[in-house]
Amino acid sequence: MILQRRVFLLMMLLLVAAVTGATANPDVRDGCQERCGDVIVPYPFGIGEPRCAMNANFFLDCNSTDEVLWFGKNMPARNISLLNGTVTAGIFYISFDCYNKSGLRDRHFNSYITLGPAYTFSDSRNMFTAVGCDTIGTVTNKEGTFGASCLSLCTRNVIMSKDNPCSGSGCCQTSIPKGLKSLDITIGSNYNHTNVSEFNPCGFAFLEDKDSLDLSDWPLSRTPKLNHTSNVVIEWVAQNETCEGAQANKSSYACGINTNCYYSDNGQGYRCACNTGFEGNPYLEQWCQDIDECKDPEKYTCHGKCHNTFGDYECKCSLGMHGDGKVGCQGFAITTIIAVIGAIVSLVIICLLIFMILSKRRKDKNFRENGGTVLKHQRVRIFSEAELTKATNNYDDDKKLGEGGFGSVYKGVLEDTTAVAVKKSKGVDKAQMNEDFQHEICVVSQVNHKNVVKLLGLCLETKVPLLVYEFISNGTLFKHIHDKRSQVLASWSNRLRIASEAALALDYLHSLADPPVIHGDVKSVNILLDDNYTAKVADFGASVLISPGQTNILATKIQGTFGYLDPEYLMTGNLTEKSDVYSFGVVLVELLTGEKPNSNAKSGKKRNFIQYFNSALENNDLFGILDFQAADEAEMDEIEAVAELAKRCLNSIGANRPSMKEVSEELAKLKSLNQKSWTQQNSDETEHLLGQSSQSFRNNTSPSTSQSQTVISFEIENFTNSI
């Protein structure tokens, strides 16, 4: 098993070596040597065996000892270019002419070079050059059809360098014609260097590649040396005939597949080149291979999406753009659009994040400044700003329940469907939001009375805290008093009950709350009615806390509602519990008369609301100003008692007013009497109805009895609802 694996691995290695060998030398024929020393020898040139070259004209000699590639007998090849159709070779024997100080010639050599039929000296790359201070260089060809010379003179030593213009002082140059196949270079002197022999004993003449010529290698003091060479560029052609003639004879045609035939610049014959989109050796049969232009974008421009094809490539503009992708596309690429959108989105996200961070810091700061650290430990819920904004639909005007001097109240619905009333304060000086306000919130949050609107929670993330109260569905007492369509106050019993419940709430605030609370803004608008029309005292925006034993608060500014304000408070600025009593007296008068505190009397005369009420009492015209009808004498007595109570509450001197406890107790007694009266009346009506039902029962069948019971039940329900 191990032996089989080794054999398999050996075969694979041989196969890889064979493939590598087959593809590693694409410029030579199979089995031929690719290079000689450092010089690559591509086909049609060849070394080693004659078959490796296209013909004898291209067969070169590679000296295996010193690894020198010889182009002819005395010319070492430096480079062979298929693309340019050139061979760069060195010429060992350079023409020179030397004299001693006596002016006698002691060394002299004229060079002569002839090329093969496929070669010519490049007229564009080479330049005939003569160096010396008393030198005449001449170049001719074997046929005698060309001749050129140049003269170089100087009387002092010239520093030779790359920057020397070689214009006749120290050296001179002249060009050669196209198609030159032989060179006969001669050199001479006018004065045998007699005047310059000390620094220039010899003159030189040679042909050299302009790109490799370095005049710093040719100082005027130079003397001949055997290893001195000049590099020349020799052009070559595949055959000395036209493309049409060569293509007609396929067996001798030098170009392979996917190639084209073109003429050399010197006009001596044709060369081969791979077609556009292909690369390789055009002289080998199948070595012009397709180029994948897409892999070389620097050379093959594509401004869109590149796709390689056989011998060419396609370049389609990116999505959102148009035009020739090889030249340039117009419009905006989808990637650019995406990048711009991405940048905008990123910027928006960054701005949002910054906004969220700053908003969070602002909310945290407000939370701390509004006493959140203390209040979060109280029995009150802390709402977020976002939660209340969502609940009130961003404080939509359609959600507004009312507006007062301290702020607006909006209806909201929490996520758990709980209806709430959100009080949003108006612009208040931040300095006013002090520890007293925070302490007030702590106390109000602990108030728990059935006739006081319950504070459900707070939002401390805003500059001024938001207060969240339970939502009272049936609006304000003010609405039901002055909206004649409302039937809630049609009966005296409901008016008395509501007054008693409101008084009970104020008595609780004055006597039982810890610390006591002066409401400061008692009015019918701040008395709400719930689903069962139970009175709920609300709005503590003007409320103040009083310490045990304290009887009054000296206000820095007067707060409250015109028409309900205590005149003593207006004159002295002292806010007391009796101030609430006065305001409640106004509410009692409002309940009795249906008049607004700041309106004209029913007679149409401009008269003070309180004076109008007191005048009616003095003139025994109380029942002439009532907003409703008394049911019987008992109710009339109760109404007179309430009117007298209201009169006492409205005393201009606070000390002469009853306390809220006295008011509450008196109204509670009247309410109790009213309920007894209604109970007795309902009992009499029930007995009367039962008598009728018994008589009916004796005269009618069972279904009639059932009907009679239904009537009894209906009356009782109405009675129950009425109280």
CA separation for the pair 504, 568 (Å, rounded): 24
Contact by Cβ (8 Å): 467, 410: no
Active site residue 521: yes
250 is in an annotated binding site: no
Q: Coil, strand or helix: which one is 677?
A: helix
- Tokens describing residue 215: 């005049």
Contact by Cβ (8 Å): 274, 258: yes
Question: Please, what is the Cα angle at 345 between 344 and 349, to 5 degrees?
Answer: 120
Q: For residue 659, give the DSSP letter.
A: P
- Tokens describing residue 377: 């430990």
Among the listed residues 290, 521, 539, 580, the single catalytic one is: 521
Residue given tokens 């069948």 in the structure block: 701
Q: Of all helices (H) and strands (E), which one includes residue 151?
A: strand 147-153
Q: How far is CA 552 from the centre of its chain?
A: 60
Cis peptide before 548 (omega within 30 of 0): no
CA separation for the pair 271, 122 (Å, rounded): 15
- Tokens describing residue 166: 């070689």
Q: Coil, strand or helix: which one is 710?
A: helix
CA separation for the pair 222, 582 (Å, rounded): 132
- Tokens describing residue 22: 């087959």
CA separation for the pair 392, 420 (Å, rounded): 9
Q: Which residues of 231-242 are buried (b: 16+ CB within 10 A; e: fewer)?
A: bbbbbbbbbeee
Residue given tokens 């007998």 in the structure block: 73
CA separation for the pair 215, 192 (Å, rounded): 23
Would you list which residues are annotated within the binding site?
A: 424
Binding site as annotated, residues for ATP: 424
Catalytic residues: 521
